[in-house]
Amino acid sequence: MAARVLLALLFALVAGGVALAQGVVTATSDPTIRVQSTFTGETITLFGNIEPDAAGELPPGPYDVVVVLRGPAADRVVRQKSRQLGLILNSDFALYQSLPSFYRVLSSRPLSALADEEVLEAHALTLEGLADRALAETTGTADTFDAELVRLMREEGLFATDPRGVQFLSPTLFSARVALPANVPNGSFLARTIVFSNGEVVAQRASRFFVRTEGFERFLAESARDTPLLYGLATVLLAIVTGWLGGVLFRR
Amino acid sequence: MQIYLPIAEMSVNLFFLVGIGAAIGFLSGLFGVGGGFLLTPLLIFSGVPAPVAVSSVTGQVVAASTSGALSYWRRGGIDLQLAGFLVLGGVVGSFVGVWIFSLLRQVGQLDLAISMGYLIFLGFIGTVMLIEAIRTLIRNRSGAARTRRKPGQHTWFQGLPLRMRFKQSRLYLSVIPIIAIGAVIGVIGSLLGIGGGFILVPALVYLLRIPASIVVGTSLLHVLAVMAVTCVLHAVQSQSVDALLAFSLMVGSVAGAQFGASAGQFLRGDQLRALLALLVLGVAARFGASVLIDPADPFSMAVLRFGETI
C-alpha cells in the first residue's frame, strides 16, 4: 500500500502535473482511516517532496521537516485532588476549550535544534504552548495545569512528539509514519507539513484526512447519542433475552 | 481478542470481560445475590470510567435477575402485588438516583461520591452481615435454641395507614413502608450500579416479615424492573450505557451463575453469609483506600460533553 502510494506520488512528480505553489507536495497513505471492532491501532504514512518554486529554484538547503497532525477539538477539564477535611477531594481545576483531542509533532531533528522558541511557538509546535492557548479558566496555577494536561494526554497516547519521526529518502523527498492508537478520536484530521531551512520556514502545506469508526461500534455509538431512548430500551431487551436464554439453556 | 467498547472508548480483551462476568456470575449464584456490587467496582478498578461502569452494569443486572426471577416464577415464588408496590417506589427512587448522578457528574465529584457511597454502604452492610453470621455460627456450635419472634408481635409501622391484604404472602400491612424500601433501594442502586438484592432480601424479611418462600423471587423481580428502568434512564440522561460492555458481562455471568448455584449446595447458609460479608467488607476497604490514602496521581482529566459545565 505504502509503496504503491509512493510510486504514484513519484509518477505525479515526474510527470509534473502537480501544482506546486507552496514549495512542498504531500500525500497520505490513506485518506480515510476506518476503526473496526478489533481495532488496536493503525499506521498512517505521509510522503512529501520539497519542490522548486515558479522560477525553478529550490529554497536553500539543507532542510528540516516538521509534520503536525491535529485531531478534532474537544473541551477538557483537568482536576487536581487534594486532602480536605481528611478526605481526598477534587479541588482545583483548569478548563481547556477547543483543545485538539489528538496532536502529533514529528520532526527530522529535535525541535530545539531546528528553530527558535518563538518560531516554534508561532507554528504551534510545542505541546505546552498548545495547552496554554486552549486554557480558558483555572483556579490554580496555569503552568502547573498546562504541564499536567500535556502529561495526561501523553499518557493516553493522544499527544506525542517524535524528534526522529520524519525520514529523508533523498535530499528533498521525505516520509513520516504516525501510529494512531486505538482510542484515536473520530473526525477530521489536519496534517501540516512545515519545511525549515536555517531556522526559517521556507515552505508549508496542509492536507486533511478522516478517522471514522465503522461497523457495529459506529452504529452503537451513534444510536447511543442520537436515539438514546431506543438505545436504552434495546439494551434492556437484549438483557432480558440473554437472561431468559440463559435460564432456558441451563434449566435443570 | 480485543474488542473496542464504543461508549467507554477503550479496547478491552473480550475474554477478560466474559471472564469477570463469569466469576461474578459464579459468586452471585453461590450467594444468591445479583453481583452488581462486585462487578461495578471491578470494572472501575480495571480502568473503565466510573459513569460507564455504573450505567452498563445495570444492563448486566437485568440479565442476571431475569434468569433467576423466571425460575422463581415457575415455582410460584413471586408475590406480584407486593412486587408492584416495591417497583413503584423503586422507579421513583431510580429517577431521583439518576438525577443525583448527573448532578454529581456536572460538579466533578461523581467519582468521589461513588467511592464514598460504596465505602459507607458496603462497610455498614458488611459489618452487620458479619456480626449476624458470626452470631449464628457460634449459636449453632453451642447448640442453643434460637429465640424466634412471636407471630403476635408488632413493629411501629404496622400501625401506618393504607393497609392492604397481600394474599400470596399472607400478610396484612401498610403499603407505605413497602414503597419506601423500594425507593431507597432504587436511589442507591442507580447511584452505585447495584441491584440491591442483598439488602432488599434482609429488609423484607426483618422489617416486613415477608415469608422466605416469597422473598427471593419477589426481590429478584423488583431488581429486574428497577434496573431496567435505571438502564434506560442512564442511557437517556448521561448516555453512558455501553451495550457491548454490558452484553459481554451478561454472557459470562448468566453461564457462571449456574455453576455458582451448584457449588452453593456444598456450603452451609451461615458459612456462605460469613464469606459474603468478608467479600463485601473487602470491596468497602478497597474504596476506603481510594478516598483516604493520597492518590499516586492527584491530577485527572475528563472530556466535557452533553452541555456539561464545571
The reported pLDDT for the residue numbered B306 is 56
The reported pLDDT for the residue numbered A2 is 45
Residues A171-212 pLDDT 10s: 888 889 888 876 778 888 888 898 888 888 888 888 888 887
Distance from CA of B17 to the nearest CA of A (A): 15
Report whether pLDDT(A30) > 80.
no
Report whether pLDDT(B37) > 90.
no
User: Hey, are the CB atoms on B295 and A81 less than 8 Å from each other?
Assistant: yes
Mean pLDDT calculated for residue range B99-124? 83
The reported pLDDT for the residue numbered B88 is 92
Least confident span in A232-236, B87-91, B277-281: B277-281
Q: Which residues from A are below 8 Å from B62, CB to CB?
A: 236, 239-240, 243
Domain total of chain B = 1
Return the percentage of chain A with pLDDT > 90, whole number: 17
Q: Which residue has the higher pLDDT, B247 or B254?
A: B247
In a domain, B297, yes or no: no
In a domain, B306, yes or no: no
Q: Which residues from A are below 8 Å from B233, CB to CB?
A: 232
pLDDT bucket at A237, cuts 50 / 70 / 90 = very high
Q: Which residues from B are below 8 Å from A36, CB to CB?
A: 4
pLDDT bucket at B307, cuts 50 / 70 / 90 = low
User: Hey, are the CB atoms on A220 and B64 less than 8 Å from each other?
Assistant: no
Report whether pLDDT(B159) > 70.
no
Instruction: Identify which of B108, B224, B246 has the shortest CB distance to residue A93.
Output: B108
Distance from CA of B81 to the nearest CA of A (A): 21
Instruction: Identify which of A36, A233, A243 has the shortest CB distance to residue B66.
Output: A243
Report whether pLDDT(B154) > 70.
no
Report whether pLDDT(A3) > 50.
no
Mean pLDDT calculated for residue range A146-160? 90
Nine-digit cell string for B295: 492518590
Mean pLDDT calculated for residue range B217-222? 86
The reported pLDDT for the residue numbered A29 is 66
Instruction: Identify which of A40, A232, A234 has the shortest CB distance to residue B11.
Output: A40
In a domain, B258, yes or no: yes
pLDDT bucket at A12, cuts 50 / 70 / 90 = very low
The reported pLDDT for the residue numbered A8 is 46
Mutation target vs A (from B116, B230, B301, B305; most A CBs, 10 A cutoff): B301
Report whether pLDDT(A249) > 90.
no
Instruction: Identify which of A79, A148, A220 has the shortest CB distance to residue B6.
Output: A220
- Residue B113's domain comprises 2-140+162-291
Residues A97-139 pLDDT 10s: 889 999 999 999 888 888 888 888 888 888 888 888 888 888 8
Report whether pLDDT(A86) > 70.
yes
For A179, the 3-state DSSP assignment is: strand
CATH number of the domain at A2-214, out of 3.90.1280.10, 2.60.120.260, 3.40.50.1220, 2.60.40.1930? 2.60.40.1930
User: Hey, are the CB atoms on A183 and B11 less than 8 Å from each other?
Assistant: yes
Q: Which residues from B are below 8 Å from A243, CB to CB?
A: 62-67, 70, 250, 254
The reported pLDDT for the residue numbered B153 is 53
Give A211: exposed, middle or buried? Use CB within 10 Å, 0-12, 13-18, 19+.
buried
The reported pLDDT for the residue numbered A150 is 92
pLDDT bucket at A17, cuts 50 / 70 / 90 = very low
In a domain, B230, yes or no: yes
The reported pLDDT for the residue numbered B144 is 54
Mean pLDDT calculated for residue range B279-305? 82
pLDDT bucket at A23, cuts 50 / 70 / 90 = confident
The reported pLDDT for the residue numbered A140 is 84
Q: Which chain B residue's Cα is nearest to A90?
A: B109
Mean pLDDT calculated for residue range B25-37? 79
Return the percentage of chain B with pLDDT > 90, whole number: 9
The reported pLDDT for the residue numbered A213 is 66
User: Which single residue is written with the C-alpha cell 504514512?
Assistant: A45
Q: Which residue has the higher pLDDT, A110 or B9?
A: A110
The reported pLDDT for the residue numbered B114 is 84
The reported pLDDT for the residue numbered A11 is 44
Q: Which of B45, B17, B58, B183 is nearest to B111 (CA)?
A: B45
Q: Which residue has the higher pLDDT, A95 or B269?
A: A95
In this prediction the ipTM stands at 0.83
Least confident span in A9-23, A131-145, B196-210, B221-235: A9-23
For A126, the 3-state DSSP assignment is: coil
Residue extent(s) of CATH 2.60.40.1930 domains in chain A? 2-214
User: Hey, are the CB atoms on B11 and A81 less than 8 Å from each other?
Assistant: no
Q: Which chain A residue's Cα is nearest to B9?
A: A183
pLDDT bucket at B183, cuts 50 / 70 / 90 = very high
Distance from CA of B121 to the nearest CA of A (A): 17
Instruction: Identify which of A75, A81, A93 has the shortest CB distance to residue B298.
Output: A81
Instruction: Identify which of B231, B232, B303 has the shortest CB distance to residue A74.
Output: B303
In a domain, B30, yes or no: yes
User: Hey, are the CB atoms on A77 and B108 less than 8 Å from each other?
Assistant: yes
Q: Which of A212, A210, A209 is nearest to A222 (CA)?
A: A212
The reported pLDDT for the residue numbered B89 is 92
Can you give the pTM of this predicted structure? Answer: 0.74
